[in-house]
Amino acid sequence: MSQGYFITGTDTDAGKTWATLALMQYFKQQGKSVVGMKPVAAGCGMQDGQLKNADALMLQAHSSVDVAYELINPYAYELPVSPHIAGSINPVELDKVLTCYDGLSRQADVILVEGAGGWLAPINQHQDISDLAKALALPVIMVVAIRLGCINHSKLTYQAISQSGLPCAGWIANCTDPAMLAREENIQTIAAAVAMPLLGVLPYTDLADFDALASFLQL
């Protein structure tokens, strides 16, 4: 049986993809095979005759094994808007996502599933990211963008995750604002407010060096 985690963020652009890629490298350094999955993605472009998402392509490129794009990103939408709007013609069906996840779980030791937007971002007319996470039944890792408003966003997201009944594996502080005032104080405040371990603080960087970022993580 593979080990899996669901990666969610406190908001859009919280840094979920970079955190997921850093986690992928972390597990590789532990000698494990890893696959990244992004079940739902909006803002996709045509490539090789099909819609593909830049973040999902990065997850595919950094996976330990060669897997089909359709398994990594079964729902790729062109419009860069909320998935329930972008996918109005082809809405997300959880059974399809579970089938793709099952296929990936047979090919690697660790599966990291990246959500879309925040925890309550809608994926169709009746369900949101939290429903997707509950269907997968994976421990949740929360990525917090350390910027103005992060304390409120992290406390609300943690509360919602806890209410879902899913285990909270931990959280990652992602320093997205190089000019952030009182950065350490904000991180300490969040650490005291959420009852899950801080897995690492990813420093601000313009370089996509995921091996280096992995060194800041400890699960």
The CATH number that applies at residue 131 is 3.40.50.300
In a domain, 61, yes or no: yes
The reported pLDDT for the residue numbered 110 is 98
pLDDT tens digits along 70-118: 999 999 999 999 999 999 999 999 999 999 999 999 999 999 999 999 9
In a domain, 150, yes or no: yes
**Using CA atoms, how far apart are residues 20 and 3, in angstroms rounded to an integer?**
14
In a domain, 169, yes or no: yes
Domains in the chain: how many in total? 1
In a domain, 62, yes or no: yes
Tens-binned pLDDT, residue by residue, of the chain (219 aa): 689 999 999 998 899 999 999 999 999 999 999 999 999 999 999 998 999 999 999 999 999 999 999 999 999 999 999 999 999 999 999 999 999 999 999 999 999 999 999 999 999 999 999 999 999 999 999 999 999 999 999 999 999 999 999 999 999 999 999 999 999 999 999 999 999 999 999 999 988 899 999 999 998
User: What mean pLDDT is reported for the chain?
Assistant: 96
In a domain, 219, yes or no: no
Give me the domain span that covers residue 10.
3-214
Q: Which residues are the active-site residues?
A: 38
